[in-house]
Amino acid sequence: MMSDPNRAYPDLHEHIEALKKAGLLVTVDDPVDKDSEMHTLVRWQFVGGLRESERKAFLFRNIQNAKGRSYELPIVVGALAANQDIYSIGMGVPVEEIGRKWEQAIANPIPASEVSEARCHEVIIEGQDLIGAGKGLDSLPIPVSTPGFDNAPTLTSTNVVTKDPETGIQNMGTYRAGLKAADRLVVRMATRVGGAGGYQHYKKHRERGDKEMPVAIILGCPPCVAFMGPQKLPLDMDEMAIAGGLAGASINIVKARTVDLMVPAEAELVIEGLVDTEMVEPEGPFGESHGHVALEEFNMPMRITAITRRKNAILTSYISQAAPSESSVIKRVAYEPLFLTHLRDALGVKGVKKVSLHEPLTGLLRVTILTVERDTPKTEIWRALYGAAFFKGDCSKICIAVNEDIDPDNADAMLWAMAYRMNPGEDVQTLAHRGQGHGPKREHAGEEDSTLLMDATMKSPMPPVALPTQEYMEKGLALWNKLGLPAVKPMPPWFGYSLGDWNDVWHQGAKRAAEGDYLENGQRTLQRQQKGLVPETSVRDTEDGWSDLDHW
């Protein structure tokens, strides 16, 4: 239930309460060092062998820095997408309906509504209160994301608002911002092929001769708004209107205090300021979502003009760096339906059943896996591979097509399909002249990459998977559990199944063997002895009619 009658969507506080009720929130009241302990603690649920469903959001309420200084505001990590269930609570629909909801929101945007008073203005910090140790930005519990490599506490779960100086259309993206002083950040916006929306605005301001660009950085806002930042929408699309489409109602916005920008009225905290369009400042190193440390580069210094917030504000931070991470989950859940819609609806490739963006270590952008129906024509498989390769400029360096029995999240199953269902001479192609995109070797002048396409689907019926069939594996599992043996986690394929090259004669023989009637099978094969054949001659190559038996 909404606590504000003027709002038809949950804010961050209500979202956190919903996570708590769902058993998806861990509240930490013990002292935690934001500079060396906070992100390392949460990171263990991504690298500790836990299933995705076991991950939680973490609310820290007793925060210190490495020197023992305490902070007033709490911070929540993983509250938007530590796993898909957390994301679905923020979206207000089950996981399987998230893709459809994104499609509906993009097709049916609802313009935002301006209000004159807002919770994000309950506390206002300006002027001299922004300057000096322990003030301004330095009063906020901004964590170090990758202790041992990062050179500064860094804002990660940002919604950064900028405005096109020519059209007046606002853009909202997620860009990291490193803390440099109580009143200065350095922001990195050039994270997308051609530059993100904020970076395009930055270039326009420079071309106009503007010495500064207004910027507002939001930390913590209603989930339907927060999801806009990581989502790669067209540059001229109003994200607040799409957020309204997600919420099914207009989003409340308010004019910022010191810059000419509109910000979410229910934001937890807003950092207002001006980016210098003439000077650049070293930023980084920082552990990035492509799984490598981004080394020091010159980026955009931002002079802070105001910090506004709710009285009881809760700040947010993403777990990023090497995937899987919160930032990869939040992108994966949104990107995969977009790929599938493009292939099935825009290109009309009906045999594609699923698109999976490989997450661990590759961070979604490098490996794209298409699940296609068995017997999909070869031409359609290749149309799908080409379509996936070119859908997003910074995605799909490696595209692989597999059948529905292959789990795209199981690397062993993927290698199995590549080893036995793919002829590299016929089923592999490369595409030249691809941009580097987001990665440890980003695009520079003249630097190119290429794409690898692989058809690892079955080209004809194959013998069954050589494991006991499901009914017998389940029987064995019941006995395993009865004996009190360690709990097992079935990993596909965990039982045998037909791949087309199988018939009822063999099926009935297997059934007799499992029921103890194997000697009857011996009597049957005795009647089929033949002369004049060399060992290992296939029964189907003889003239006893076996080649005419139906496969199933």
Average pLDDT taken over every residue of the chain:
89
| pLDDT score at 397 | 87
- The label of the residue with tokens 């490996």 reads 367
Q: Evaluate whether the domain defined by 97-317 bears CATH number 2.30.110.10.
A: yes
Going by pLDDT thresholds of 50, 70 and 90, the confidence category of residue 550 is: very low
How do residues 323-343 score in pLDDT, each as one tens digit? 777 777 777 877 888 889 889
Going by pLDDT thresholds of 50, 70 and 90, the confidence category of residue 78 is: very high
* DSSP output for 268-328: SEEEEEEEESS--EEE--EE-TTSSEEPPEEEEEEEEEEEEE-TT--EEE---SSSSSHHH
| pLDDT score at 445 | 52
Instruction: Indicate if 347-455 has the same CATH topology as 97-317.
Output: no
Q: Express as a percent the part of the chain with pLDDT over 70.
A: 93
Q: What is the mean pLDDT of residues 294-319?
A: 94
CA-derived radius of gyration, the chain: 28
* DSSP output for 15-42: HHHHHHHTT-EEEE-S-EETTTTHHHHH
d(CA 111, CA 323): 34
Phi (first) and psi of residue 519, to 5 degrees: -65, -30
Q: Distance of CA 257 to CAs 173, 246, 316, Å?
A: 20, 27, 22
| pLDDT score at 194 | 53
- The answer to whether residue 359 scores a pLDDT higher than 70 is yes
d(CA 248, CA 104): 10
Determine contact, residues 423/389, Cβ cutoff 8 Å: no
Exposed, middle or buried, 519 (CB in 10 Å: 0-12/13-18/19+)?
A: exposed
d(CA 85, CA 54): 10
d(CA 84, CA 87): 5
The residue ranking higher by pLDDT, 100 or 275, is 275
CA within 13 Å, CB half, 417: 27
Determine contact, residues 191/299, Cβ cutoff 8 Å: no
Determine contact, residues 234/84, Cβ cutoff 8 Å: no
| pLDDT score at 548 | 43
Q: Which amino acid is at 10?
A: P
d(CA 548, CA 5): 72
Determine contact, residues 399/379, Cβ cutoff 8 Å: no
Q: Which amino acid is at 461?
A: P
* DSSP output for 383-410: HHHHHHHHHSTTS-SEEEEEETTS-TT-
| pLDDT score at 532 | 87
Determine contact, residues 509/515, Cβ cutoff 8 Å: no
CATH architecture for segment(s) 347-455: 3-Layer(aba) Sandwich (3.40)
- The answer to whether residue 5 scores a pLDDT higher than 90 is no
- The answer to whether residue 40 scores a pLDDT higher than 50 is yes
Q: What are the extents of the domains in the chain?
A: 97-317, 347-455, 470-548
SS3 57: strand
Q: Which residues of 350-383 are buried (b: 16+ CB within 10 A; e: fewer)?
A: ebbeebbbbbbebbbbbbbbbbbeeebeeebbbb
The partner residues of 272 in beta bridges, in order of sequence, read 216, 306
**Of 125-134, 204-213, 246-255, 320-329, which range is least confident?**
320-329
| pLDDT score at 1 | 45
| pLDDT score at 325 | 77
Going by pLDDT thresholds of 50, 70 and 90, the confidence category of residue 364 is: low
For the chain, the residue count is 552
Q: Express as a percent the part of the chain with pLDDT over 90.
A: 66
Q: How many CB atoms lie within 10 A of CB 434?
A: 19
Determine contact, residues 298/282, Cβ cutoff 8 Å: yes
Instruction: Name the DSSP letter for residue 487.
Output: P
- The answer to whether residue 72 scores a pLDDT higher than 70 is yes
| pLDDT score at 547 | 45
d(CA 324, CA 46): 6
d(CA 425, CA 422): 9
Q: 379: Cβ–Cβ under 8 A, 6 or more apart, which residues?
A: none
How do residues 394-428 score in pLDDT, each as one tens digit? 788 899 999 999 999 898 999 999 999 999 999 99
SS3 64: strand
d(CA 64, CA 143): 10
| pLDDT score at 69 | 94
Give the pair of three-digit tokens for residue 71.
Answer: 């902070």
Going by pLDDT thresholds of 50, 70 and 90, the confidence category of residue 317 is: very high
Q: How many CB atoms lie within 10 A of CB 24?
A: 20
Where are the alpha helices (H) located in 22-146, listed in sequence order? Answer: 38-47, 84-91, 98-107
| pLDDT score at 229 | 74
Going by pLDDT thresholds of 50, 70 and 90, the confidence category of residue 552 is: very low
**Of 2-6, 321-325, 521-525, which range is least confident?**
2-6
- The label of the residue with tokens 């045999």 reads 351
SS3 400: strand
Asked if the peptide bond before residue 324 counts as cis, ω within 30 degrees of 0, the response is yes
SS3 318: coil
Going by pLDDT thresholds of 50, 70 and 90, the confidence category of residue 2 is: low
Going by pLDDT thresholds of 50, 70 and 90, the confidence category of residue 440 is: low
